Every structure is written in C-alpha cells, then in structure tokens.
Amino acid sequence: MALRVRAMTTEEKEHVERLARSRTEPARLVERARIILAAIQEKRVPAIARQLHLSENAVRLWLKRFNALGLAGLQDEPRSGRPTTYTVEQVGEVIAAALTKPDALGQPFGSWTLDRLEVYLGEEKGIPIKRSRIDEILIEEGLRWRTQEGWFGERAGREKEEKAAGTSADKPVDPAFAQKRGRSSPSTRRRRKAA
C-alpha cells in the first residue's frame, strides 16, 4: 500500500504552501513542507524523492511524522544530551584569561591562541572547555582575534590613544620605504589592441 498524506484542514494546507515557498524559514523546514506539498499533489514517495533529491526513507519519515503530528511533526525533535553550560564565574575566567598577557600568568609564550587558552583553562583553572566554545564566548563578549597583536582590544585601544595623540599605528617604520622598494611591477599583463 502506497504511503499518502492524511486529509488536511484548509489552514494546514495554506501553512504548508506558505512554508514551502518561504525564503526566510530554515531550509530543512522548507524541504519538509515541499515533501508534504508534493504528497498533496498525489505524487508517490519515489517521485517525491527524485524531485527533491532525497532518499525515499527521508520522504517516508516526514510523511509519517506529518500524518501523526500535523504541522508540529515537521519540527526537529529535541536532541539527546544536555548542552554544556558554564557558570558566570567560568565565563568570567575565560574572558579574564584571554585579556591577560600569557606571560603575566606564568605561561612561556607572548600571545594567546584558542588552543593555548583551551589548555591553560583546562590545566590551570580546571575548566574543561573546547576551543570552539571559547571562541563563541569571546565573540559574544564583543572580543575579536587580532592576528598582528594577539588577543583582542589591544590594537583598538592603542589606535584610539594614537589618534588622540595625533600619531598612527599604520605609519611605515622607514619613511623612505617606498623609494627603497622601487617601482612595483604590474600584476596583470597589458592587453593587445585589436587590429
């Protein structure tokens, strides 16, 4: 017996059609709505799978879930496992460590990397935290990685001070650098003129 979509209310049908055309909803919800919409048009599972470039099992799964739960069946189910949460104090430790020079904390290097922070926080502070989570915490705090300087606001703070003093961090070290460098070679060849 072929799997078919159950009878739908007008409201459900309109919602599925709107969701299937959406450009702002998550792609997975739009895809699931398109499965239901194709089923409403009396297409069978293999045809829907080919049309949407999905496996037949995926099409069957979403049709069964929709038939059992309605529109709520198109949503993701809760994932197993509890997300790791950190206390306010632990988040504060991450930020404080990132903003402190490593050598001031007894570390044998001059600037932080995410890997170094992960090791330091795990070994010295007893906070088992992944580098990706450290990155998220720092970004949420408005801190960004500066490749020239190491971690965060050092350059931005110095730029403000230099601007106030009338100096600039972007000045070349050698004022005669451009003359010493010589003429730059063009990076693209000149085109021949057509005859």
> Within a domain: residue 52?
yes
Which residue, among 89, 91, 2, has the nearest Cα to 44 in the 3D structure?
A: 2
Q: Are 114 and 135 in contact (CB under 8 A)?
A: yes
Do 15 and 68 lie in one domain? The reply is yes
Residue 178 resides in a domain: no
The verdict on residue 168 lying in a domain is no
Q: Would you place residue 120 in the very low, low, confident or very high pLDDT band (cuts 50, 70, 90)?
A: very high
Q: Provide the mean pLDDT of the chain.
A: 81
pLDDT tens for 152-182 read 544 444 454 555 555 544 554 566 666 666 6
Residue 66 lies in a domain: yes
**Could you read off the pLDDT of 132-146 as tens digits, one per residue?**
889 888 888 877 766
Same domain, 70 and 114: no
Q: Is residue 32 part of a domain?
A: yes
Q: Are 16 and 47 part of one and the same domain?
A: yes
Domain co-membership, 92 together with 66: no
Beta carbons of 133 and 114 less than 8 angstroms apart: no
> Looking at the 3D structure of the chain, how many domains does it have?
2
pLDDT confidence tier of residue 109, bands split at 50, 70 and 90: confident
Residue 194 inside a domain? The answer is no
DSSP assignment letter at 189: P
Q: Is residue 148 part of a domain?
A: yes
Query: Do 58 and 116 sit in the same domain of this protein?
Result: no
Residue 80: per-residue pLDDT: 72
**Mean pLDDT to the nearest integer, 91-101:** 90
97, 121 Cβ separation under 8 angstroms? yes
Instruction: State the Rg of the chain over Cα.
Output: 29
Assigned domain for 44 exists: yes
Full domain range(s) for residue 124: 88-155
